[in-house]
Amino acid sequence: LFCERIFGPAKDWECHCGKYKRVRHRGIVCERCGVEVTESRVRRHRMGFIKLAAPVAHVWYLKGIPSYIAILLDMPLRDVEQIVYFNSYVVLAPGNAETLVYKQLLTEDQWLEIEDRIYSEDSQLVGVEVGIGAEALLRLLSDINLEEEAEKLRGEIESAKGQKRAKLIKRLR
């Protein structure tokens, strides 16, 4: 995540592989490692990003108080952590299964049992989708229509009282 090729060299006037050292090579881009020979302080100014192969849940939004991810999903933080840390599966689409509910948590044993039922030859289960990790959270978050959810919450806030109203206001924020 601290790639010298993107952000600049870690040491002043030195490329990563060490082929070019000292000020006399200023501005040269090393053919071997691709790092420009310049001052290391450019790392503070250069912006860049790395496209990761899989989604990641940022700890500030997951474990921060309040947990914005848990509030948006209207799930307890403990359940969200179980999904992110690959301890529990979450139902993304229940399909035609009567026993499954959207956002229901499943243990690995429960999921293996359901998976066996789905892939058996006489199976009637269709459209069941289950996920785990930050990829499942991304899917749950992308399923939320924010404008529609905000309107629904505003309507509920008008009729709610006490602690329930405070929770709804926190979710709307």
Query: For 131-149, what is the HEC assignment?
Result: ECHHHHHHHHHHCCCHHHH
Q: Mean per-residue pLDDT for 156-164?
A: 74
Phi, psi (rounded to 5 degrees) for 131: -135, 170
What is the residue extent of each domain of the chain? 1-51, 59-142
> Among 77-81, 83-87, 144-148, which is the least confidently predicted range?
144-148
pLDDT band at 118 (very low <50, low <70, confident <90, very high): confident
| Cα dihedral sign, 152-155-160-163 | positive
Q: Are 11 and 18 in contact (CB under 8 A)?
A: no
Q: Mean per-residue pLDDT for 9-19?
A: 88
Sequence-distant (6+) residues with CB within 8 A of 81 are 62, 63, 87
Give the separation between CA 92 and CA 64, rounded to whole angstroms: 25
pLDDT at residue 110 in the model: 86
pLDDT band at 99 (very low <50, low <70, confident <90, very high): confident
pLDDT at residue 1 in the model: 58
In the predicted model, what is the mean pLDDT of the chain?
A: 82
Q: Is the pLDDT of residue 41 over 80?
A: yes
pLDDT at residue 84 in the model: 86
